[in-house]
Amino acid sequence: MIPKPFFSPRLAAGIPSLWGVCILLLAGCQGPDAQQSEAAANLSEVVSSDTSDTSLTLEKRIDALTQEIKGSPTNYALYEDRSLVYYKMGETQNAQADIEKALELNPDGTNLYYLRGFYAYQNQDTATARQAYNQAEQLGSTNPEVFYQRGQLSFFQQKYEEAVADYRKAAELDSLDPTYPFAEGFLFQRTGNGEAAKEAYRKALELNPQFDKVLLQLHDLELDYFKDPLQASGYNDRVLERNPEHPVALYNKANHFYRTALVHRQSGEREAYQRAANEAVVYYTLAINKEANFADPYFFRGYCYFMGEERLDLAMEDFKKTLELDSTHVQAHFFLGSVYEYYQDLKSALAHYERASAYDPSFTDAKMAVKDLKMRLK
């Protein structure tokens, strides 16, 4: 019988913590650009209202606009309209070319400069985007997206004061869009100002109480900055009440039970540990079923298997799956090495301990395991 690893001496200092977990692919800690503003979301609606999303209809719209342009070659608005249709079709080069032509015909068009900046922004041409937004501002643009997107550029270039100023300018121009205070809150959270972040997030929630990304960021803020798991769970549960299948909220719920299990484990309460670990497994599985391409839910589910009942077979599967998705996952290498060690496959165990140590030279448990197994394999 495989010995239970519930109180394994080797793992006493190697228990993985969740306090620093940031779920990137599922949007729990995405940057503010991950939340498209309402104005940007409505950009394609500028295209004629009778235009559907089918490529055939869009091509007909392009043909019609092209004919109109032949009859009115100096009408900049026709180039602007065709640019938007090209953009909707994914033909960004043609979209940009039409905006440049429109600007030749109307060099003072603030919306044209916004579109030039928007297309450049989408293509990660930050210099052109900033220049275009600056020109739109100089011409008196009142489009909040000009300032919001310029703020985004400043955020990713770590020009935080400029970013905050632009987010606030966008909010002045459109006080009903919750994206702008959300972006400001995310910036403050990223830079360690938890109180300011909470205030900004609350402003966003006043505008939209069902703004999932705000609720999820507040969950992370309460955990990481204010160290209040109860408040954090409350925000997360608000997401699950409305959307019981939200993958990030399911993952957060699993983490709640995982943390509870660790508390019981550290106090030696085996049965209470197992109950909490089982709940964690349920929610990690639900999260995986909704988003199967993120490593951490597999890892922590595998850890629950590993530290509880004798399910090292399932733990091994989950650790391997973790490494398929993230080959540099230090803890997955370490605990997969532990499973191999329990099965007395010491060469495989050593290989994973060595990788864990290589990816994180400060991981002393891995270094000790490498030293120990090398001695045993002599």
pLDDT, residue 15, reads 56
335 within 8 A of 325, measured Cβ to Cβ: no
- Cα separation of 258 and 302, whole Å? 12
223 within 8 A of 229, measured Cβ to Cβ: yes
Flag residues of the chain having pLDDT under 50: 1-14, 19-35, 40-42, 44-52
pLDDT, residue 18, reads 54
- Cα separation of 38 and 185, whole Å? 17
Instruction: Give pLDDT tens digits for 58-83.
Output: 999 999 999 999 999 999 999 999 99
163 within 8 A of 154, measured Cβ to Cβ: yes
- Cα separation of 39 and 44, whole Å? 10
Helix (H, G, I), strand (E, B) or coil at 178: coil
Amino acid letter at 161? E
* Greatest distance between any 2 Cα atoms in the chain: 86
Write the DSSP assignment of 92-143 as a string of letters: HHHHHHHHHHHHHH-TT-HHHHHHHHHHHHHTT-HHHHHHHHHHHHHTT---
26 within 8 A of 169, measured Cβ to Cβ: no
Phi/psi of residue 161, each to 5°? -65, -40
Q: Answer yes or no: pTM beyond 0.95.
A: no
Instruction: Give pLDDT tens digits for 49-60.
Output: 444 457 789 999
Helix (H) / strand (E) containing 295: helix 295-307
pLDDT, residue 17, reads 57
165 within 8 A of 196, measured Cβ to Cβ: no
220 within 8 A of 194, measured Cβ to Cβ: no
**What would the 3-class secondary structure string for 261-305 be?**
HHHHHHCCCHHHHHHHHHHHHHHHHHHHHHCCCCHHHHHHHHHHH
pLDDT, residue 22, reads 37
pLDDT, residue 304, reads 93
Helix (H, G, I), strand (E, B) or coil at 173: helix
pLDDT, residue 24, reads 33
- Cα separation of 107 and 297, whole Å? 52
216 within 8 A of 248, measured Cβ to Cβ: yes
- Cα separation of 15 and 306, whole Å? 11
pLDDT, residue 302, reads 96
CA angle (117, 123, 129) in 5-degree steps: 25
* Distance (Å) of CA 183 to CA 30, 250, 367: 11, 24, 42
Characterise 8 by phi-psi region: left (phi > 0), alpha (psi -120 to 50), beta (else): beta
**What would the 3-class secondary structure string for 46-104 be?**
HCCCCCCCCHHHHHHHHHHHHHHHHHCCCCHHHHHHHHHHHHHHCCHHHHHHHHHHHHH
pLDDT, residue 378, reads 82
For the purposes of burial, counting CB atoms within 10 Å of the CB of 71, is it exposed (0-12), middle (13-18) or buried (19 or more)?
exposed
